[in-house]
Amino acid sequence: MRYKKMIEGVFLKRPNRFIAHVLINGIEEIAHVKNTGRCAELLIPGAKILLEDASDNPNRKTKYSLISVWKGDMLVNMDSQVPNAVVAHALKENKIEGFKDLVKVKREVTFGQSRYDIYFETHGEKGFIEVKGVTLEKDGIAMFPDAPTERGSKHALEMVKAIEEGYTGIIFFLIQMKGPGSFRLNSEMDQKFSESVKYAVNNGVRVLVYDSIVGKETIEIGKPIEFIP
């Protein structure tokens, strides 16, 4: 995934979850935040950020979108819209372990009352993948979620029904950075989601965790990361 027309800036404040005040070339601007999570450990006043310049789009209310932020020396992509595309592209490029002879990859497919991010078929398998972007990291451990997610719990539980009907079910956590050595569920933030995922795993749903290679203009799939149940 490559962004267009990236520009550096400094984060100032976030008055609500949709917008941020940023400093670009010494001028205060308002930018769209492409992540409705809290991201409190990332969006700290004075943090260096990268934004996508969309000023040539007359339909936009803001000129910029906040894409990435430096957490120390680590660049974290916090665009919640990009993980699905990164995983789908990696599947097609055979960059994810355990998928052979893919014959179909389709985005945004409904099963029951849930819409899953990816539907796939091989010559002997068909299934759904729910992708979760991970931006929270502490002491080298990535965690999800950073805010309660009723939708996430619902998807995990309904995926068990898909398993019962013969589909493969996968919850895919994409860590949107390179650095953490392991991943765990953030039960302190959302006990219900953690219990839903554990229930799903105990009933046949698989969990995959990969990190990402994040550049100033790019993000792509990295390597598998250890999942701590």
**Axis-axis angle for helices 150-164, 191-202 (nearest 10):** 10
The tens place of each residue's pLDDT in the chain, 229 residues long, gives 899 899 999 999 999 999 999 999 999 999 999 998 889 999 999 999 999 998 777 778 899 999 999 999 999 999 999 999 999 999 999 999 888 788 899 999 988 888 899 999 988 899 999 999 999 999 999 999 998 898 889 999 999 999 999 999 999 999 999 999 999 999 999 999 999 999 999 999 999 999 999 999 999 999 999 999 8
Contact (CB, 8 A) for 134 and 146: no
Domain end position, chosen among 77, 103, 134: 77
57 and 98 assigned to the same domain: no
Please give the pLDDT value at position 1: 87
pLDDT (0 to 100) of residue 59: 76
Provide the domain limits for residue 69: 6-77
Distance between CA atoms of residues 80 and 29, nearest Å: 21
Task: Indicate whether 107 and 213 sit together in one domain.
Answer: yes
CATH number of residue 197's parent domain: 3.40.1350.60
> Are 94 and 168 found together in one domain?
yes
- Please report the pLDDT score of residue 27 as a whole number: 95
- Nearest-angstrom CA–CA distance, 71 and 23: 17
Domain identity same for 67 and 169: no
Radius of gyration of the chain (CA): 18
Could you tell me if 120 and 186 lie in one domain?
yes
